[in-house]
Structure 1
Amino acid sequence: MHTNTLIMSLSDTYFRHQCIIRRLLKAPASLQELKDYYELECETHDYSFIFSQRTFLRDKEEILSLHKKDIQYNPSLRKYYLEEDHMPDDLGERIADAYNTYQALNLADGLSDFVYLEKRRPQGMEHFHPLLHAIRSRLVVTFQYEKYLDEHISERRVEPLALKEFQSRWYLLAKDLKDHSLKTFALDRITSLEASRQKYKADKGFNVNEYFRHCFGIIRPSVPESKPQDIVLQFVPGKGKYIKSLPLHESQRILKDDEEGLQVALELYITHDLIMELLSHGADVTVLQPASLRKTLNEIYNRAEKIYQH
């Protein structure tokens, strides 16, 4: 099959998957209702209309495999429905969000008149696919790396372990073969990336999700004995609504939510990334515990006050 034809075919299939998922997220639907919804979406997006019981049954299996969403049939209602929380899939949701955004923007004529896109674009994304290949193939890679604070460029030889996103930037988690310690490298500071033919043995006991579980951002304490802290924050009422809609971290738990504001608990390492996040909320957040974190923020605010007084 010609490459362009294959891409179009895959795009049509993914579009059909998203239509089915979106319709079933609203409410259970019969096969005819799914077909009607898909036909309407095809007219809106100028797609070719291909929907039958045979294609739906195939799509149903592919949706479970690719999107981790299980479609079941209710005989009494004679309708299909989505099984709740079958297998959460953050990556699948991100891909779906990106695809739906692309579909919406692709419809727009004179896009710049009413859609304003972020001008800042993360650098270093050309390294994403080569690094992903090296991680999956367990290949040692070398690259030049620049530290912004001291403007020093060094040669690195590492065993790449994972890629992590934080605040619209991508980072590589790798074992530095110079001192055999785990480090994170920003993709936008990497140049001259090369994958060698040398393979490395992965540590079977290492789990990247566990490594970052109690981290806010990409920094983890260098001291192995460091423990995550129980942190309690109080947000003013208006800010609290934002924190509920977009939690600071997966460990976030709501302790109190009333007219005085939102109180949440988190279990995190206290790192530079976390402190910078709390400072960004200014007077809208108060650290209730631990005392050490309150003291750190208080010292930073006092130094800033002295600077602006002069």
Structure 2
Amino acid sequence: MKIKEKPNFNNPQVYQTKQLVEILKKFPFESMENLINYISPTRENKISERTFHRIKATLRDDYGIVIKYSRANQGFYLDEEKSINIESFLSHMEILATGEQISHNLNGNNNSLSFIEFENKSAIEVIPNFKSVLDAIQQNLPITFVHSSFYYYKEIKEQEYTLKPYYLKQYQNRWYVVGETQKGYRTFGLDRIKSVETGIEKFKSKINEAKEKFSNVVGLNSMDHELQTIKLSFHISQKLYVESLPLHSSQKEINLDNDKSFDISLNIHPNFEFSQQILKYGSLVKVLEPKWLADEIKEELRRGFENY
């Protein structure tokens, strides 16, 4: 296992916890010696075994990531069954690590921000209601709030809801709370709710059931169709982009012997958001299956063409 050059973070533990999880995802059953070499700041400045175990304890106690030792394989591994969502943890640590890098560069360099441009204002704004909703989630307490809908273009429509909040999810630079109302599972954008009040009667969380329900959709829209296999064919120029930013976690490459296009399959509930993801590629993608979806995309493209 090759040791990479380490960035100079202000808080090395942010880097070390992230790197330990990443390396165990790629190379399970690594020895303690190899893991220490990998997450140490330099070859000459290695962390101690005591520090290694302290990092493991931090991952377990603060983040719910369980690392165990396998005597049979003589190495450490991630116990994914007893850990929280590891991908969410890595995304969280990536944000912290990026913040550490920016903070480090700002020290003694007043013009650092002139070289950094955020995608939009919301990327650096304080997330409204984040703490109050997260506190309610962690305590299994319901919340009541007023929601402003984006679906009514002539006027803003407000409605009060009571929700059992299960978890927070980020999608396209917005944060959403996923939970359950009396009518079933719902998602609400944190930037579209106000007057949040926390109830006092605890509920039993259904976080796993909620995540399972939304695991087979793109985005957070409701399921418009049954779970099915979708096959898409991209222009070969899009291969690296689609590989690096998959449309869904179920994405798999198919037709491997075809060097003129990049073909994939996905197992999802097709919905409006998924159709929007297809349409943004324009002529660079074609729906192979199912036929009804190909016809739907074709009709949408025709309507768009008629606008011109």
Q: Please show how residues 103-252 of structure 1 align to structure 2 within 5 Å.
A: 103-108=100-105, 109=109, 110-121=111-122, 125-150=127-152, 151-177=156-182, 180-202=183-205, 207-221=209-223, 226-252=225-251
Q: In structure 2, how many angstroms separate the alpha carbons of the residues matched to 1:201 and 1:61?
A: 27
- Residue 292 (structure 2) aligns with: 292
Pairwise CA distance, 1:113: 3.6
TM-score normalised to structure 2 length: 0.76
8 Å Cα contact 1:64/1:71 also seen in 2: no
The 1:41/1:116 distance shift into structure 2, 3 A limit, reads farther
Give 2:48's match in structure 1, choosing from 28, 52, 59.
52
For 2:301, what is the secondary structure of its paired residue?
Answer: helix
Pairwise CA distance, 1:244: 1.2
For 2:278, what is the secondary structure of its paired residue?
Answer: helix
Pairwise CA distance, 1:169: 1.2
Identify which range, 33-42 or 182-191, moves more after superposition.
33-42
The 1:152/1:195 distance shift into structure 2, 3 A limit, reads same
8 Å Cα contact 2:148/2:159 also seen in 1: yes
Pairwise CA distance, 1:272: 0.8
For 1:218, what is the secondary structure of its paired residue?
Answer: coil
Q: In structure 2, how many angstroms separate the alpha carbons of the residues matched to 1:254 and 1:247?
A: 11
Provide Cα deviations, 1:163-202, integer angstroms capped at 9, x if missing partner. 222212111223234xx23222111111111112233344
- Residue 93 (structure 1) aligns with: 90
Q: In structure 2, how many angstroms separate the alpha carbons of the residues matched to 1:33 and 1:203?
A: 36
Gaps of 5+ in 2: 1-9
User: Over alpha carbons, which structure has the higher Rg?
Assistant: 1
8 Å Cα contact 1:139/1:195 also seen in 2: yes
Q: In structure 1, how many angstroms separate the alpha carbons of the residues matched to 2:21 and 2:46?
A: 16
The 1:196/1:114 distance shift into structure 2, 3 A limit, reads same
Q: In structure 1, how many angstroms separate the alpha carbons of the residues matched to 2:264 and 2:249?
A: 12
Identity of aligned residues (%): 22
For 1:104, what is the secondary structure of its paired residue?
Answer: helix
TM-score normalised to structure 1 length: 0.76
Equivalent position amino acid for 2:247 in 1: L
Q: In structure 2, how many angstroms separate the alpha carbons of the residues matched to 1:23 and 1:197?
A: 42
8 Å Cα contact 1:134/1:141 also seen in 2: yes
Gaps of 5+ in 1: 1-9, 43-48, 75-79
8 Å Cα contact 1:146/1:154 also seen in 2: yes
The number of residues matched between the two structures is 281
CA RMSD after TM alignment: 3.6
